[in-house]
A and B are shown apart, each in its own frame.
Chain A
Amino acid sequence: MLEIKNLRATVDGKEILKGLDLSIKAGEVHAIMGPNGSGKSTLSYLLTGRDGYEAVDGEVLYKGRDLLSLAPEERAGEGVFLAFQYPVEIPGVPNTTFLKEAVNSVRRYRGEEELDAMQFVKMLRQKTKELGFSDELLKRQVNVGYSGGEKKRNEALQMAVLNPALAILDETDSGLDIDALRVVAESVNQLRSPDNALLVITHYQRLLNYIVPDHVHVLAHGRIARSGGKELALELEQNGYAGYLGTAA
């Protein structure tokens, strides 16, 4: 589904990713772990097309297409979703309005018919029920005045509603207590299917107790320093990243 080959990327002119390779197949869950400043967030923004993040070498193929040539909204239309580390507040815009706009934009992109208000509300009710979220979350303005846990839960809801083929979770565990973490992780797990892939970016191992990965990669100094199975995460938890910090190029 996703093929990253020898990716080099800069942020504001500074090289952050230095030849990264990664291959993700449909149905797989990959975790990327790494110390602060290793390029984890850069990778997530680069894959979703944020301004200022620029690939200078290498390629990213998504379902066989050159992902980096697409605008952010086109990538979303193609099924790429980013759960933000810091979800953004949009004052005055009700959550429902935002979600409806998003769903219908994606449908338009795909040449599908837009949902009318009734159809949309019905679908939304269904999703919130499945995830065990209250409707109250829908009436509020996008992320305004939410607790850390509510923000992340809102990201999970958006993900459920948009049902992406490739979901990237950027430090979803940051700012969450253990109960909130479990709730969010459960809702993410509901999305796992043979057709979807997950890329979980995290600093700590504890999220991976709930979202169990098929593959774990250590990102250090802008490239994958080591790959392994889920046991690699436990090893990192015990030994820390110290062993990877010395390998600076």
Chain B
Amino acid sequence: MVATVETVEQVRAVADDRYKYGFVTDIETETAPMGLNEDIVRFISAKKNEPEWLLERRLKAYQRWLDMPEPQWAKVEFPPINYQDTYYYSAPKSKEDGPKSLDEVDPKLLETYEKLGIPLREQEMLAGVAVDAVFDSVSVATTFKKNLEEVGVIFCSISEAVQNHPELVKKYLGSVVPFGDNKHACLNAAVFTDGSFVYIPKGVRCPMELSTYFRINAQNTGQFERTLIIADEGSYVSYLEGCTAPMRDENQLHAAVVELVALDDAEIKYSTVQNWYPGDENGVGGIYNFVTKRGACRGRNSKISWTQVETGSAITWKYPSCILQGDNSVGEFYSIAITNNCQQADTGTKMIHLGKNTRSRIIAKGISAGRSQSTYRGLVHMSARANGARNFTQCDSLLIGDQCGAHTVPYIESKNRGAQVEHEATTSRISEDQLFYCRQRGIGEEDAVALVVNGFCREVLQQLPMEFAVEAQKLVGISLEGSVG
């Protein structure tokens, strides 16, 4: 049976090499019993040796989750999720006692990350990027910890933060995304397993890019990571997350929560390159990416900037948002969402203007190919006291082929007469003229599509940190393979 599965996987890997991250790491894991109930929540909490207050919060969230309806607003379709069909905890066994250094990390895991292009060995790493690697439910390694500690930056897994910095976790966890925010976030609050924690102290400019690399490996496993980033007064941090998963026939749930807090004069730049397995051409398998991301600009003159490149997942449901509380605070959202074959994406942002002279900027680029559906959904809210607030929104959709769809659903609520809201939107089809022009110059059809689409996304790609912009450009081309001709 196992051999059959392996053969099938191998054949598929050869037949469909478009998704090169689709391999499985054969590693012994420790798994909680399948399904979800109060005991599972207690099991996870006990595994992590959590304090009582956190267990109580988890149990409260679990109770609330039971009665909560699924969010219905998104333009996505999928059969009801059977939450009892999933494992909520899976960890590589060697992790039991926790590796003290990379030397103690299972070599198979290091190999996995190397295959993914994320070598964890510090000497081999891209200079200046610290990585936290999350494998299924646990963080397996965090690099450059020492260098960061010297300047007072805390960068560790959230499980470690619970043990070592409980006062910070207790104060900020759930303060931006309350556990009852929506059903997916509520599930996360009950069963979150790992994720990254970042604290940048007052006045510190984080000396390197921080990055988390999420990997779902085990079968039938959900990944429920929780990330919390706090930028104290006058600090700056740039953070990047990347994600991949093996190719599997069943859908896997990924319900993450990310909370950002920026205090006075602080700035957080958060970039995502999301490349979860999207399913095959017929829409079999793939990740359900149901993610709640929100940042609070609590302080004056603070700034939070989201950049996302969404190319993977069978279904993407995410709205990285900014609550602009502090006067003069700034929120930004730069997004590229690419859907191909049977993928569905419903993504956008919410900019909630509460403080005076708050500003927000939204640049969203959607590219749909195959039979996919892509929706931009956004809210710009100007509260009564947001005097002098301004927003600029631009949503551009590009269609490839004649069986896909692009939808733009912008909500604007203004309770302040002086607030300015601008919205621009375009929808266009990839032009035959452009493709022929490229091909006449010798550029093959798929390369031509990649070139035109990269041009279309340029404004957003420019927001990514240098090292990742190149990767993202390639990813744009790869995701659209097979979309023409």
Contact = CB atoms under 8 A, between A and B. Distances in A.
B455 A76 contact: no
A81 B441 CA distance: 7
A103 B441 CA distance: 8
A188 B438 CA distance: 21
Contact of A101 (B434, B436, B447, B459): B447
Interface in B286-338: none
A76 B452 contact: no
Given A72-B436, A84-B437, A90 B455 contact: yes
B442 interface: yes
B441 A87 contact: no
Contacts of B432: 51
Contact of A102 (B442, B454, B458, B459): B442
Given A50-B436, A72-B436, A98-B451, A92 B457 contact: yes
B402 interface: no
B455 A109 contact: no
Contacts of A142: 455
Nearest to B455: A92
Contact of B439 (A76, A87, A93, A141): A76
A101 B443 contact: yes
Nearest to B431: A88
Contacts of A76: 439-442
Given A91-B456, A141-B455, A158 B436 contact: no
B209 to A, nearest CB: 23
Interface in B434-485: 434, 436-445, 447, 451-452, 454-459
B441 A162 contact: yes
A91 B443 contact: no
B433 interface: yes
A73 interface: yes
Given A90-B455, A91-B455, A102 B433 contact: no
A72 B451 contact: no
Nearest to B457: A92
Nearest to B441: A102
A98 B437 CA distance: 11
A124 interface: no
Interface string A93-125: 100011001110110010000000000000000
A90 B437 contact: yes
B452 A90 contact: yes
Contacts of A84: 437, 440
Contacts of A48: 440
Interface string A124-142: 0000000000000000011
Output the residue of B434, B436, B458 with the most chain A CB within 10 A.
B436
Contacts of B444: 73, 105
Given A88-B433, A92-B459, A101 B439 contact: no
B436 A51 contact: yes
B441 A158 contact: yes
Interface residues of A, number: 32
Interface string B413-439: 000000000000000000111101111
A82 B455 contact: no
A50 B439 CA distance: 9
Nearest to A82: B440
Output the residue of B440, B452, B458, B459 with the most chain A CB within 10 A.
B440
B440 A105 contact: no
A102 B455 contact: no
A93 B442 contact: no
A39 interface: no
B451 to A, nearest CB: 6
A109 B434 contact: no
A109 B441 CA distance: 12
A73 B458 CA distance: 25
Nearest to A51: B432
Interface string A145-170: 00000000000001000100000000
A56 interface: no
Given A102-B442, A105-B447, A162-B442, A92 B454 contact: yes
Interface string A51-84: 1000000000000000000011101110001101
Contacts of B439: 49, 71-73, 76
Nearest to A93: B455
Interface string A7-39: 000000000000000000000000000000000
A55 B148 CA distance: 67
B15 to A, nearest CB: 24
Contacts of B433: 88
A101 B451 CA distance: 9
A83 to B, nearest CB: 10
A112 to B, nearest CB: 12
A162 to B, nearest CB: 7
Contacts of B455: 90-93, 141-142
Contacts of B456: 91-92
Contacts of A88: 431, 433-434, 436-437
Contacts of A162: 441-442
Contacts of A81: 440
Contacts of A72: 436, 439-440
Contacts of A73: 439-440, 442-445
A101 B445 CA distance: 12
Contacts of B452: 90, 93
Nearest to B448: A73
Contacts of B436: 50-51, 72, 88
A193 B445 CA distance: 31
5 contacts: A72-B440, A73-B443, A88-B434, A90-B437, A109-B442
User: Which are the 4 A-B pairs with shortest beta-carbon distances?
Assistant: A92-B455, A92-B458, A93-B455, A76-B442
Given A88-B437, A97-B451, 13 more contacts: A73-B443, A77-B442, A87-B437, A88-B431, A88-B434, A88-B436, A91-B455, A93-B451, A93-B455, A102-B442, A105-B441, A105-B442, A106-B442
